[in-house]
Amino acid sequence: MDKKLFSQALVKFFSGLLLAGLLLFLPAGTFGYWQAWLLIGILFVPMFIAGLIMMKKSPELLRKRLNVKEEQNEQKLVILFSGLLFLAVFVIAGLNFRFGWIVLPAAVSYAAAAVFLAGYALYAEVLKENEYLSRTIEVQEGQKVVDTGLYGVVRHPMYMTTILLFLSMPLVLGSLISFLLMLLYLPIIAARIKNEEKVLEEGLEGYADYKKRVRWRMIPFIW
């Protein structure tokens, strides 16, 4: 086992867990925000299990997923805006619970949790299909076009799953306001995809032909 990689993964995991707790429970003013506990459970428990599996079976993929340092200025802005958006969504959800602005029924939170877990299952499938997946936009040495499984349906199944995950999060938290705010993620991810496809078409052999074979970027029959 790579002890350095394991330590890095643990630090990032618990840092994320602590940050999520602070962003949700401090604005809520109570640990009784049950929707926050629900989100933390369905987010971090599968994340921990997936991390252990990658650590054992594909440590290089885990290393790529832990790397969030973008080289391109355009993508640095995308990461910045995404981070600010998540900050606002979580804080507003906590405030929404504290002050009871527009609190969605519990059934909505449970249904959104089911959608979130379905998105997580798709996320795991994408990770299994594409060993080149990293969190930065780059063409890696020896990289080949992946066109099997979900990659035969849409060109960016990872982003498709993030849409399911991120749009369901505020609904799990019971906040309609946060959900409406999270819709801003759509143009952000569209900009990222546009830049990524440009990089891949220029640097990855066969990607231009792949674009012709698989028409849809992220949502079949729509975009």
221 inside domain: no
219 inside domain: no
- Rounded Cα distance between 72 and 137, Å, is 8
Residues in the chain: 223
Domain count within the chain:
1
58 inside domain: yes
pLDDT, tens only, 145-167: 888 888 888 998 988 999 999 99
* CATH code of the domain covering residue 116: 1.20.120.1630
141 inside domain: yes
223 inside domain: no
218 inside domain: no
The pLDDT tens digits along the chain (223 residues) read 677 888 888 999 999 999 999 999 999 999 999 999 999 999 999 999 888 888 887 777 777 667 666 555 666 777 788 889 999 999 999 999 999 999 899 999 999 999 999 998 998 888 777 766 655 555 555 577 888 888 888 998 988 999 999 999 999 999 999 999 999 999 988 888 888 888 888 878 888 888 889 989 988 888 8
**E strands in 45-114:** none
What is the 3 state secondary structure string of 6-35?
A: HHHHHHHHHHHHHHHHHHHHHHHCCCCCHH
220 inside domain: no
165 inside domain: yes
Its domain, for residue 192, covers: 3-213
